[in-house]
Structure 1
Amino acid sequence: MTKPKVLISDALSPAAVQIFKDRGIDVDFQPALGKDKDKLAEIIGNYDGLAIRSATKATAKILANAKNLKVIGRAGIGVDNVEIPAATARGIIVMNTPFGNSITTAEHAITLMLALARQIPQADASTQAGKWEKNRFMGIEITGKTLGVIGCGNIGAIVADRALGLKMKVVAFDPFLSPERAKDIGVEKVDLDELLKRADFITLHTPLTDKTRNILDATAINKTKKGVRIINCARGGLVDEAALRAALDSGHVAGAAFDVFVEEPAKENVLFGHPNVICTPHLGASTTEAQENVALQVAEQMSDYLLTGAISNAINFPSITAEEAPKLKPFIELAEKLGSFAGQLTESNIAKVQITYEGAVAEMKVKALTAAALSGLLRPMLGDVNVVSAPVVAKERGMIVDEVLRAAESDYESVITVTVTTDDMKRSVSGTVYADGAPRLVNIKGIRVDAEFGKSMIYITNEDKPGFIGKFASLLGDAKVNIATFHLGRNQQGGDAIALVEVDGPVPQEILTKVAALPQVKQAKALAF
């Protein structure tokens, strides 16, 4: 049997290179190659594995030449330098190391908070310029102050723990954080407005999604305490930089410390030059320990996969064996889409998720299916969640996840049902896989349907009364929105009804608003799959 060959095209530690060698893998260590995309494209076809950091860009063009490549391992969390759809289409597993940088990033946030409190960079520059401006740099104490943590997942929880050690009070806003988990880590769970009102310092630790983009906009910043200080070591775009600059100029915000920016590398930025702003060039993961940890981790993961077929921390595939893959694949797609359907309709805290496997599917590896359902459920809120990280993310937030297996009780050979319980409601959605391998919706909130998942859909709950369909169709027709498929269901004549409509292209918000305003409509929501 020939040895697997791995190309390392970015700087990885000697210890990581040694792991590959010790495990019996042929390693080609070319740390400068990542910057030469033409040379990389020329030789990539000779390798089974590619180990990278951020310099190598694994584009569709390069991957087109990767005829033998089975796995790409990214030493770090961000995989925006890998074209995931192109890798997936070629059957290449993409792995990352999602938890190797957590402590380092959390420590950077705490460091920036302390530097803000005592104006360390400004005082250093002044003193080294020979000014000795002792009276200019009046700081504030950290002890007894309230830290508001927006996003209390892995990194946010570490920040909260360190802040508690500094004798701060910690309040946290995170829709996925359960009251039990909040109690365990010693934080008070609050809504966003409450956090804005109470926090002396605010630190952000959430991914950038449509729901979190500009979570601190001008309106939110105006709700904060006068004299608040804001720290962002998570993602550029969580804070409206122009609105923050205005609040700094007016004195409402006393200071800000940013490690991340909307545009990077940030050669110029609206925050630059303000006397009460501290900036660092995306150093969150830049410690020798973190860089070593992720390098060793990616070497182990890639070796496991190439030698045994074991998959861990994959972005684009669940942890399943090669033998199980063909049978499981359509049900993984079904579970993820059912989860996504429920996640896109859920606005409030998720307390519990129950996934019921009925019939033949109950005999399959349901852990992989549950991971797929959770990734679909969490992604609308949390963005960068994959089938491997989703169960960990759900556990971190104290969500109860139940799996129920039962014999077939319906007309279908296999049915998966995702039931989401929030603070104020319970919603179920069921689906199956037809003989053609296509996933289908068969039941929504107890109402039978038979619908495919379209790329762009409108979901409506309404009263079952005459006139709704005509008005709805006219509204879409007037707006030049073309209907591809139209599915209806109701629980009884004159009772509750649902419409699931696939349309060509995204649904404009103004159309959705008009649909929601129709007399019989209770809810109208745009869905994307």
Structure 2
Amino acid sequence: MAPRVLISDKLSEAAVQIFRDRGIDVDFQPDLGKDKDKLLEVIGQYDGLAIRSATKATEKVIAAATNLKVIGRAGIGVDNVDIPAASKKGIIVMNTPFGNMITTAEHAVAMMFAVARQIPEASASTHAGKWEKSRFMGVELTGKTLGVIGAGNIGSIVCARALGLKMKVVAYDPFLSEERATEIGVEKVELEDLLKRADFITLHVPFTEHTRNILSRENLGKTKKGVRIINCARGGLVDEAALADMLKSGHIAGAAFDVFAEEPAKDNPLFNLPNVVCTPHLGAATTEAQENVALQVAEQMSDYLLTGAVQNALNMPSVTAEEAKIMGPWIKLSGHLGNFIGQMTDEPITAINILFDGEASEMNLSALTSSVVAGIMKATSQDVNMVSAPVIAKERGIRISTTKQDQSGAFEGYIKVTVVTPKRERSIAGTVFSDGKPRFIQIKGINIDAEIGAHMVYTTNKDQPGIIGTLGTTLGRNGVNIANFTLGRSAATGEAIALLYIDEALPAEAIEELTGTGLFGQVKPLSFDI
């Protein structure tokens, strides 16, 4: 059956057509997002939800979304999506961070021009029939120093535009390397230095606990007299009351804001002050940007629902379509390794350690790690996947560590998973053969070569004659056919293990009979999603 996607906000017809062309059953109801009760009533029917800002994907909506696998936000901001609730439910949340980069950067530059030349006030004055030529004395941008706080995707575009205007650009960004700063033609500085030197300051960082009020009253007081502040990023980055006070005192010459701490902004300390330009969150409001983000979210959601490719997810590692093709068997192996060890472990897990060797170490380790953790968690809960498993593990206080190493053995690459409990450590390793099939290659340090089936049996015993015969005859007596039989031992007359791939689940009677022989230390039936 084709996946079903609900579009509950206004998206372009071209985006709707992308879903249809990809074979997805799309339900385009652009006003449904405004009707909370109706959304709650129908959301359980869909695999995907495509939205803008009008639809609120609240915890209540997500709880009712019994089949939902992905929420796609056409745009950057996801304030209208309860990401923690979606993550716990195993729902991927995607956005389109690159579709409106140029538009937002251009708006910041336009706002800089507007506040430098007092264009909105001059326009209003002229419309009112006044001719106040001497009142609106502006400043040139050429030769001025622009301080850019945040030199990521949008910030770096602003830097390029400012350099084209013959401005000097200094940038503060903890993640900006000296090499990248040189590449984009800016001087990397600390925040204190930027505040002292900049004639214009523009912000291009997300709103987090670290960036909240990054231009606080204290930091605004450190700025050069006559500075102009531009914010087209996120509300809450600037102390608006403090900024209003300094605009009134004349320390700050002007401000241009597209975003505010509270939106929609009906009342704000910056309103009606001279040389303050305000726009209603128009950063992404161009025809081109709106079309771009709509098309991108349709492509991303289609890719995930049809191929498993994950792009621009906020709660799961991204896996490109090409990576999905190559990594598919390895992701499946990772899940099987985790699932095996999860089914074998009865005690609380305190740590999960994952070793990636050779070919496996060069892949998307975040995705493989999430798959391992999901496999472990599935042993105790079926309602878990690569999105929700890391959240659950964190809630349970489980430490997850990864190590990568160059090829160290006969295989081109392998993955080894070790779980730690208060009583013991348990490990298993596996690889993917050239036929694309995952194999278990080591259990408890004992080398094996086991094909993975939907139903399996794991046994431990002392290495002595009669074990194979007992297993074969007991399963035969209980009507269980053996598809594959793998043995391994630590040393002659030492500990041995057997892993059997069988055609159907092992009956309880067969488990009791094998245990009753006294030959086996452990008899464990296992099941895997193949």
Is the shorter-chain TM-score for this pair beyond 0.5, marking a shared fold? yes
Q: Quick one: distance in 2 between partners of 1:195 and 1:85?
A: 35
Q: CA deviation at 1:153?
A: 0.6
The answer to whether structure 1 residue 368 and structure 2 residue 375 are counterparts is no
**Residues 319 and 119 (structure 1), Cα distance of their counterparts in 2 relative to 1, 3 Å cut:** closer
Q: Quick one: distance in 1 between partners of 2:13 and 2:299?
A: 14
TM-score scaled to structure 2, two decimals?
Answer: 0.65
8 Å CA contact retained: 1:359, 1:406 = no
**Residues 33 and 10 (structure 1), Cα distance of their counterparts in 2 relative to 1, 3 Å cut:** same
Q: Quick one: distance in 2 between partners of 1:404 and 1:49?
A: 35
Q: CA deviation at 1:310?
A: 1.7
Q: Which amino acid aligns with 1:369?
A: L
State the match for 1:311 in structure 2.
310
- Structure 1 residue matching 2:364: 3-state secondary structure: helix
- Structure 1 residue matching 2:56: 3-state secondary structure: coil
Q: CA deviation at 1:242?
A: 1.2
**Residues 132 and 369 (structure 1), Cα distance of their counterparts in 2 relative to 1, 3 Å cut:** same
Q: Which amino acid aligns with 2:60?
A: K
Q: Which amino acid aligns with 1:368?
A: N
Q: Quick one: distance in 1 between partners of 2:27 and 2:7?
A: 6
Q: Which amino acid aligns with 1:38?
A: D
Cα distance per residue 1:238-274 (max 9 Å; x no partner)? 1111111111111010000011111111100111111
Q: Quick one: distance in 1 between partners of 2:335 and 2:186?
A: 40
CA RMSD in angstroms comes to 3.1
Q: CA deviation at 1:368?
A: 3.2
Within 5 Å, give how 1:2-401 maps onto structure 2.
Answer: 2-320=1-319, 324=331, 327=334, 359-360=355-356, 364=360, 367-369=363-365
**Residues 84 and 366 (structure 1), Cα distance of their counterparts in 2 relative to 1, 3 Å cut:** farther
Q: Which amino acid aligns with 1:296?
A: L
Q: CA deviation at 1:90?
A: 2.2
Q: Quick one: distance in 2 between partners of 1:173 and 1:415?
A: 41
Q: Quick one: distance in 1 between partners of 2:367 and 2:308?
A: 19
Q: CA deviation at 1:364?
A: 4.2
Q: CA deviation at 1:327?
A: 2.9
Q: Quick one: distance in 2 between partners of 1:310 and 1:126?
A: 54
Q: Which moved more, 1:9-18 or 1:235-244?
A: 235-244
Q: Quick one: distance in 2 between partners of 1:146 and 1:415?
A: 53
8 Å CA contact retained: 2:52, 2:75 = yes
State the match for 1:405 in structure 2.
405
Cα distance per residue 1:397-443 (max 9 Å; x no partner)? xxxxxx9524789xxx9899xxxxxxxxxxxxxxx74369x99xxxx
State the match for 1:434 in structure 2.
420
State the match for 1:502 in structure 2.
none
**Residues 363 and 29 (structure 1), Cα distance of their counterparts in 2 relative to 1, 3 Å cut:** same
Q: CA deviation at 1:123?
A: 0.2
Q: Quick one: distance in 2 between partners of 1:433 and 1:16?
A: 45
- Structure 2 residue matching 1:213: 3-state secondary structure: coil
State the match for 1:498 in structure 2.
none
Q: CA deviation at 1:179?
A: 0.8
Q: CA deviation at 1:277?
A: 0.7
Q: Quick one: distance in 2 between partners of 1:52 and 1:317?
A: 19
Q: Quick one: distance in 2 between partners of 1:70 and 1:298?
A: 14
Q: Which amino acid aligns with 2:164?
A: G
**Residues 318 and 365 (structure 1), Cα distance of their counterparts in 2 relative to 1, 3 Å cut:** farther
8 Å CA contact retained: 1:10, 1:53 = yes
Q: Quick one: distance in 2 between partners of 1:330 and 1:236?
A: 45
Q: Quick one: distance in 1 between partners of 2:361 and 2:16?
A: 34
Q: CA deviation at 1:363?
A: 6.1
Q: Which amino acid aligns with 2:365?
A: L
**Residues 268 and 47 (structure 1), Cα distance of their counterparts in 2 relative to 1, 3 Å cut:** same
8 Å CA contact retained: 1:310, 1:319 = yes
Q: Quick one: distance in 1 between partners of 2:367 and 2:66?
A: 29
Q: CA deviation at 1:31?
A: 0.2
Q: Which amino acid aligns with 1:51?
A: A
Identity of aligned residues (%): 70
Q: Quick one: distance in 1 between partners of 2:296 and 2:129?
A: 47
Within 5 Å, give how 1:483-498 maps onto structure 2.
Answer: none
Cα distance per residue 1:433-491 (max 9 Å; x no partner)? 4369x99xxxxxxxxxxxxxxxxxxxxxxxxxxxxxxxxxxxxxxxxxxxxxxxxxxxx
Q: Quick one: distance in 2 between partners of 1:127 and 1:242?
A: 30
Q: Quick one: distance in 1 between partners of 2:236 and 2:368?
A: 28
Q: Quick one: distance in 2 between partners of 1:120 and 1:433?
A: 64
8 Å CA contact retained: 1:359, 1:408 = no
Q: Quick one: distance in 2 between partners of 1:103 and 1:301?
A: 20
